[in-house]
Structure 1
């Protein structure tokens, strides 16, 4: 398993709500799922603006990359990026 960490600073909740309606199906197309999510994060060290924190789980790094680069999911990803600023990091 590999994991991806997403941090979303939400400025447009309506766009995030629309994304949430489609995100599960988009993830499952590439074998991904939400392992954990929380609107509250506690920074243990360093500095970072936090928002909605999400841990995504994929079978392989290639599956995670296929999910983020899938041209058929462009509109779904646009809902997330339209919700505010987001950063997604692959762990592994």
Structure 2
């Protein structure tokens, strides 16, 4: 089953960004993930304002792959840098339609 990581990230400082992008790209691919969107070009169409500098969507082959990425020892220092240097929310969404007839 396909899963998607959906992130909202607003850096509070930029010093972590240059050292983050390359390793994150490599480790996402290592765990079978694929970036579908990484952009500052987004518009909220509904709901209470939820500001974020970046919206990121990653497709995963499984929930286990996404979780393996997040717990990969190589990724942990980069995760810590991102979370210390940004306001971030990360949701893992199963690629299914629970409301389909």
**Interval of TM-score (by shorter of Structure 1 and Structure 2):** 0.7 to 0.9
CA contact (8 A) 2:24 2:75 kept: no
Instruction: Give deviations 1:21-66, integer Å, cap 9, x for gaps.
Output: 2111111221112111111321111121222111011111111111
Structure 1, unpaired ranges of 5+: none
- Rg larger for: 2
Question: Normalization by structure 1: what TM-score?
Answer: 0.87
What RMSD, in angstroms, separates the aligned Cα atoms of the two structures? 1.4
Of 76, 84, 87, the match for 2:86: 84
1:59 corresponds in structure 2 to 61
Report the 3-state secondary structure (helix = DSSP H, G, I; strand = E; otherwise coil) of the residue aligned with 2:15.
helix
Question: Normalization by structure 2: what TM-score?
Answer: 0.81
Q: 2 CA distance for matches of 1:16 and 1:78?
A: 12
Q: Specify which structure has the higher proportion of helix.
A: 1
**Residue 36, structure 1, aligned to residue 42, structure 2:** no
Which structure 2 residues correspond to residues 2-13 of structure 1 after superposition, within 5 A? Answer: 2-13=3-14
